[in-house]
Chains A and B, each alone.
Chain A
Amino acid sequence: MAIESEILVVGGGLAGLSSALAAARDGADVRLVSYKQSTLRQASGLVDLLGYTPDGEGPLTDPYAAMADLPASHPYQTVGVETVREAMAMFDEVSDYEGGHTDTNALLPTHGGSIKPTARYPRGAAAGLASDDRDTLLVGIEAMTDFDAPHVADHLDAVGVPFGVRGETIRFPGDLRADAKVTRYAKLLDTNGEVAVRGRNVPAREALAQRVNPLVEDAERVGFPAILGDDNPGAIRDALGDQMGVDVFEVPMGPPSLPGLRLEDRLFEALDESGASFETGNPIVDFDGDGHVERVFMEKNGARIPLSADQYVLATGGLVGKGVESDREGVSEPVFDCHVPHSDDRYDWFDTAVFGDHPFAGFGVETDDDLRPLSADGDVEFDNLRAAGSVLGGYDFAAEKSGSGVSIATGYAAGASAAAEVR
């Protein structure tokens, strides 16, 4: 007997979670299965909607206004601007992110020293907005090569930010080894464990504040790399801010990204609250069905476990998340073998400039208006399968800064549409 649900979502990233949430909130019986860690741990944790047009125009102030001019094949056009707004409203309800008070994009500093347009940002990043003109101190950790505060500060200055910005490097209190992981710093601050400072034991948060305090001078806000706790980031920021008399913020970082992991945790909590069930750690390896997905098979401890549902959502990610695969011969979607348009010549898959117009960035399935993947002939592949997030083709999320927004919007749309089918 197959494990049954009304809706089965394959994939546990932003798109899969949004899809499962939308369907569960509409009253559907939803199961989500995911294989590996999602790409949220590699993402900054910022939720971008649209920062640049496909032609590179930007940074855009109003992402919604710009969506109307996107090519018809763009996922935002497929679902429509109103659906994007509804999806973001759902995201705002289930997350604790800021930015929902306005349609206007925010600009945030990046750990590379530039700024980027984004639509929603974690509370921990809120005090770091680049349109806020308060003078800023950035603090780097000597043993952490990912965030060089003086370099980031000088780079931000070259960007022309409307505030004074300085960078200082400190030695983190406590005896963390040179290659300590981000999570090690976070844990120390979460537990507020004692560290030895000049022969006496001091709680970690206090020790950190004391160390930074002499450097604050007239800065009104202090930015750290995103290491300020996994479980209690708000309390840590407050404690540091209170002791230094400033606002404290985090600068989003590369992998492993604590803000990304926190968002993932928050969304899984919301999914749990919504009544959906989920299972992680095992891949979907095969399916039955011709024009209609009958069931899929999960590989678990060497066995093939059948799972069946009325409606399926494919949210397995793009090239990064391995929802789109390739070899020397071509590009494919590995679960349902949906058609992925691509040139036969793999030397057409890229541009010669590192930030050129890369065709590979747009690899993914094409869909009809209801997000159902299309075959090479333009027919719906399966009448009960919808695709969401980076497995979709036709847009370059990295250049546009649209990845999270497309995942949330198309996930929401696919989940809502699947839920409507089973009602």
Chain B
Amino acid sequence: MVSTPHIAVIGGGSTGVGIARDLAMRGLDVTLVEQGNLTHGTTGRMHGLLHSGGRYAVSDQASATECIEENRVLRDIASHCVEMTGGMFVKRPEDSEEYFQEKLQGCKECGIPAEVVSGEEARQMEPHLAKDVEKAITVPDGAIDPFRLVVANAASAQEHGARIETHSKVTDLLVEDDEVVGLEVEHASGPGKRVHGTEGGTEAIRADYVVNATGAWAGRIGDMAGLDIAVRPSKGVMTIMNVRQVDTVINRCRPKGDADIVVPHETTAILGTTDEEVEDPEDYPEEQWEVDLMIETLSELIPMLEEARTIRSFWGVRPLYEPPDVGSEDPTDITRDFFLLDHEERDDLPGMTSIVGGKFTTYRMMGEQISDHVCGKFGIDAACRTADVPLPGSEDFSVLRDYMDEFGLRSPIGRRSVERLGSRADEVLKTDGPNPTVCECEGVTRAEIQDAIGQSGSDLNAVRIRTRASMGNCQGGICTHRMASELHGEYDESVVRDAWDELLQERWKGQRHALWGEQLSQAALNYALHATTQNRDNDPAGGDPVDFAAFDTGVDHTGDSGPADVAADGGTPDGD
């Protein structure tokens, strides 16, 4: 090859950005396209568990071993995305003692640090565990923010020259002389950052090689070139609680089953999950029984969940894949391992490889293997550096500084901002003007919102996943209009209004599964604030004209005011 190969990566989830970062760091030209926001697919819809590998220590030791290796790597390179909560596999009286021993043994065989603690010791660590929990195995599970991780990978890829195009859906694969030579995308709002109301258009992106990292959507990309990629999407529900009932990842110690994990995540705890095969990764039923099952089954481990407040539920679709000859009936039996499908070897169609299956925790390792594979195609001998170079935000960072004083933020907002931003705290939080709080539930300040807008255009959902604004207890009741206002100035009012409407609808989507008790009261309050106080449900802006003259013009105002009698020299609007 004379020039640097150009690789097109399809998919802006963890796998796609992991590949893009890796290839870009090895010096290749990379373009990544994603149909929605980064994390739009499965990555944005997971429980945020940084696996220790314990969950696979009996059934799939290869995966377990990979997990513990990558767990250690991510703690290092992505420290600002990880909270090392620790985890436990807890055993109830009816759970099998034999399996408990197998789990312990499996952890040891896979190199996963594991200790047995008594029920009493477990309750000392997690006081809300059920009184009859007999014992537990502690493991180094953690919590990880998938949004922050993916954004940091994309930022790193960009720093190394990659082009990242979100809201750009692949409409076709370009095939010439029986070889994939690129792809055609439909930009929702033109190339670059998304701006509502900007005209979109199609673009042909020619590439020397294409990587299909679209997970549950891999079959659709394959179809465009007549390839059969039989991904078996499997949905799982996750229910978000309004507080952290536990500060440790709690797993049920039994072979397999629904509703067996609680992950503390930021200000919330996430209950998971189910495992149901679905036909279409974008269109499947989200059902009440799944939410009820989470609460009822996990209450066996943590009784207070029965009466606790949930703020929303969401569903994710696992991109499960197994070689055609295995034929598992039950999706829970399908391996969590990943597969690299080189379409030249598999289908006689050179120019593209698909990566399917796999797990979030091992995204980096998957990226490394596929990058090795791609580099091999071009005879490039470049070492992978993604396990050694920290992500933006996790570089040389000390949280010991007094950020509250330094940035004029009150506790706990200063602490939370710095935790989210990591080593980027200086660059983001040092502002000239005051830095008030926009989202009170999550402690997100104007500076962080503005930083996110700078990265993601007018898309408030992209701002949301970067900052957590509107993701707390009130689910945007108080802050959606504030977030919209932060867009104004950079963007016109009509663009802001479209983005605002989109955020309101997105926030409503998940709350619908939590509408009882406190959260129904909250939803009723939000509805009152947005419809009654703001009249956003009947906002005449952009609609039919209003006959203003037909309404009350008030009582007579004449004589109330005289001409301005104060000289216009009273200081400047910006202060003293």
Residues 117-154 of A, flagged 1 when their CB comes within 8 A of B and 0 if not, give 10000000011011110100000001111101011001
User: Are A104 and B550 in contact (CB-based, < 8 A)?
Assistant: yes
> Closest residue of chain A to B505, judged by CB?
A354
Q: How large is the interface on B (under 10, 10 to 19, 20 to 34, 35 or more residues)?
A: 35 or more
Residues 539-576 of B, flagged 1 when their CB comes within 8 A of A and 0 if not, give 11110011111111111010011111111111111111
Is B105 in contact with chain A by the CB < 8 A criterion? no
User: Are B434 and A142 in contact (CB-based, < 8 A)?
Assistant: yes
A192 to chain B minimum Cβ distance, whole angstroms, is: 16
User: Are A241 and B538 in contact (CB-based, < 8 A)?
Assistant: no
Is A375 in contact with chain B by the CB < 8 A criterion? no
Which chain B residues lie closer than 8 Å to A353 at the CB level?
505, 508
| Bound-complex Cα distance A242 to B566 (A) | 9
Contact of A129 among B531, B539, B552 (CB under 8 A): B552
User: Are A150 and B489 in contact (CB-based, < 8 A)?
Assistant: yes
Q: Is the interface of A mostly helix, strand, loop or mixed?
A: loop
User: Are B537 and A319 in contact (CB-based, < 8 A)?
Assistant: no
User: Are B552 and A104 in contact (CB-based, < 8 A)?
Assistant: yes
Which chain A residues lie closer than 8 Å to B546 at the CB level?
59, 107, 115, 159-160
Is B485 in contact with chain A by the CB < 8 A criterion? yes
| Bound-complex Cα distance A150 to B496 (A) | 12
Which chain A residues lie closer than 8 Å to B3 at the CB level?
none
Q: A171-B574, A213-B566, A244-B564 are in contact. List 9 more A-B contacts (CB 8 A).
A: A104-B552, A145-B446, A145-B482, A158-B493, A159-B541, A178-B435, A320-B521, A326-B517, A354-B530
User: Are B548 and A154 in contact (CB-based, < 8 A)?
Assistant: no
A259 to chain B minimum Cβ distance, whole angstroms, is: 11
29 A-B contacts, Cβ less than 8 Å apart? A51-B535, A58-B538, A99-B552, A110-B535, A111-B533, A112-B539, A127-B554, A130-B551, A131-B554, A148-B482, A148-B488, A154-B492, A158-B493, A159-B541, A171-B434, A241-B561, A245-B565, A246-B564, A247-B560, A255-B529, A320-B524, A328-B295, A345-B288, A353-B505, A355-B530, A397-B528, A398-B537, A399-B537, A403-B528
B248 to chain A minimum Cβ distance, whole angstroms, is: 26
User: Are A209 and B566 in contact (CB-based, < 8 A)?
Assistant: yes
Which chain A residues lie closer than 8 Å to B524 at the CB level?
318-320, 360-361
Which chain A residues lie closer than 8 Å to B549 at the CB level?
131, 162
Is A294 in contact with chain B by the CB < 8 A criterion? no
User: Are B529 and A42 in contact (CB-based, < 8 A)?
Assistant: yes
Contact of A245 among B437, B540, B564 (CB under 8 A): B564
User: Are B532 and A43 in contact (CB-based, < 8 A)?
Assistant: yes
B476 to chain A minimum Cβ distance, whole angstroms, is: 10
Which chain A residues lie closer than 8 Å to B430 at the CB level?
none
| Bound-complex Cα distance A243 to B573 (A) | 16
User: Are A178 and B436 in contact (CB-based, < 8 A)?
Assistant: yes
Is B339 in contact with chain A by the CB < 8 A criterion? no
| Bound-complex Cα distance A68 to B94 (A) | 64
| Bound-complex Cα distance A99 to B485 (A) | 30
Is B55 in contact with chain A by the CB < 8 A criterion? no
Is A327 in contact with chain B by the CB < 8 A criterion? yes
User: Are B542 and A322 in contact (CB-based, < 8 A)?
Assistant: no
Residues 179-222 of A, flagged 1 when their CB comes within 8 A of B and 0 if not, give 10000000000000000111000000001011111111000100
> Closest residue of chain B to A238, judged by CB?
B560
| Bound-complex Cα distance A104 to B569 (A) | 42
Contact of A114 among B482, B541, B557, B569 (CB under 8 A): B541
Contact of B493 among A151, A210, A212, A220 (CB under 8 A): A151
| Bound-complex Cα distance A318 to B442 (A) | 27
User: Are B531 and A171 in contact (CB-based, < 8 A)?
Assistant: no
Is A301 in contact with chain B by the CB < 8 A criterion? no
User: Are A397 and B540 in contact (CB-based, < 8 A)?
Assistant: no
Is B471 in contact with chain A by the CB < 8 A criterion? no
| Bound-complex Cα distance A114 to B552 (A) | 17
User: Are A355 and B531 in contact (CB-based, < 8 A)?
Assistant: yes
Is B257 in contact with chain A by the CB < 8 A criterion? no
| Bound-complex Cα distance A360 to B516 (A) | 10
B417 to chain A minimum Cβ distance, whole angstroms, is: 12
User: Are B533 and A214 in contact (CB-based, < 8 A)?
Assistant: no
Task: Identify the B interface with A (CB < 8 A).
Answer: 288, 292, 295, 408-410, 413, 433-438, 446, 478-479, 481-482, 484-486, 488-489, 492-494, 496-497, 504-505, 507-508, 512, 515-517, 520-521, 523-525, 527-542, 545-555, 557, 560-576
Considering residues B535, B537, B545, which has the most beta carbons from chain A within 10 angstroms of its beta carbon? B535
Query: How many contacting A-B pairs (Cβ < 8 A)?
Result: 284
User: Are A160 and B576 in contact (CB-based, < 8 A)?
Assistant: no
User: Are A129 and B554 in contact (CB-based, < 8 A)?
Assistant: yes
User: Are B534 and A117 in contact (CB-based, < 8 A)?
Assistant: no
Is A26 in contact with chain B by the CB < 8 A criterion? no
Contact of A247 among B409, B434, B521, B561 (CB under 8 A): B561
Which chain A residues lie closer than 8 Å to B520 at the CB level?
319, 326, 349, 360
| Bound-complex Cα distance A178 to B438 (A) | 11
Is A19 in contact with chain B by the CB < 8 A criterion? no
User: Are B436 and A145 in contact (CB-based, < 8 A)?
Assistant: yes
User: Are A155 and B560 in contact (CB-based, < 8 A)?
Assistant: no
> Closest residue of chain A to B554, judged by CB?
A129
Is A275 in contact with chain B by the CB < 8 A criterion? no
Is A305 in contact with chain B by the CB < 8 A criterion? no
Q: A114-B536, A170-B573, A361-B524 are in contact. Are A213 and B531 (CB under 8 A)?
A: no
Interface residues of A in 12-57 (CB under 8 A from B): 42-44, 48, 51-52, 56
Which chain A residues lie closer than 8 Å to B567 at the CB level?
213
| Bound-complex Cα distance A244 to B561 (A) | 9
User: Are A115 and B535 in contact (CB-based, < 8 A)?
Assistant: yes
| Bound-complex Cα distance A213 to B536 (A) | 32
Interface residues of A in 341-364 (CB under 8 A from B): 345-347, 349-350, 352-355, 358, 360-361
Considering residues A114, A130, A150, which has the most beta carbons from chain B within 10 angstroms of its beta carbon? A114
> Closest residue of chain A to B483, judged by CB?
A145
Residues 310-343 of A, flagged 1 when their CB comes within 8 A of B and 0 if not, give 0000000011101001111000000000000000
Which chain B residues lie closer than 8 Å to A154 at the CB level?
488, 492-493
Which chain A residues lie closer than 8 Å to B550 at the CB level?
61, 104, 131
Considering residues A101, A209, A355, which has the most beta carbons from chain B within 10 angstroms of its beta carbon? A355
Considering residues B408, B481, B552, which has the most beta carbons from chain A within 10 angstroms of its beta carbon? B552
> Closest residue of chain A to B562, judged by CB?
A245
Considering residues A105, A350, A361, A397, which has the most beta carbons from chain B within 10 angstroms of its beta carbon? A350
Contact of A143 among B292, B434, B504, B534 (CB under 8 A): B434
> Closest residue of chain B to A59, judged by CB?
B546
User: Are A142 and B433 in contact (CB-based, < 8 A)?
Assistant: yes
Q: A158-B493, A360-B515 are in contact. Are A43 and B533 (CB under 8 A)?
A: yes
User: Are B516 and A198 in contact (CB-based, < 8 A)?
Assistant: no
Which chain A residues lie closer than 8 Å to B481 at the CB level?
111-112, 146
User: Are A115 and B523 in contact (CB-based, < 8 A)?
Assistant: no
> Closest residue of chain A to B500, judged by CB?
A112
> Closest residue of chain A to B296, judged by CB?
A328
| Bound-complex Cα distance A168 to B560 (A) | 24
A319 to chain B minimum Cβ distance, whole angstroms, is: 4
Which chain A residues lie closer than 8 Å to B576 at the CB level?
173, 196-198
| Bound-complex Cα distance A243 to B561 (A) | 10
Contact of B551 among A48, A101, A106 (CB under 8 A): A106
Which chain A residues lie closer than 8 Å to B413 at the CB level?
179
User: Are B537 and A214 in contact (CB-based, < 8 A)?
Assistant: no
User: Are A42 and B537 in contact (CB-based, < 8 A)?
Assistant: no
User: Are A131 and B539 in contact (CB-based, < 8 A)?
Assistant: no
User: Are A155 and B569 in contact (CB-based, < 8 A)?
Assistant: no
Which chain B residues lie closer than 8 Å to A107 at the CB level?
546, 548, 551-552
Which chain A residues lie closer than 8 Å to B479 at the CB level?
145
Is A169 in contact with chain B by the CB < 8 A criterion? yes
Which chain B residues lie closer than 8 Å to A349 at the CB level?
515, 520
> Closest residue of chain B to A214, judged by CB?
B568
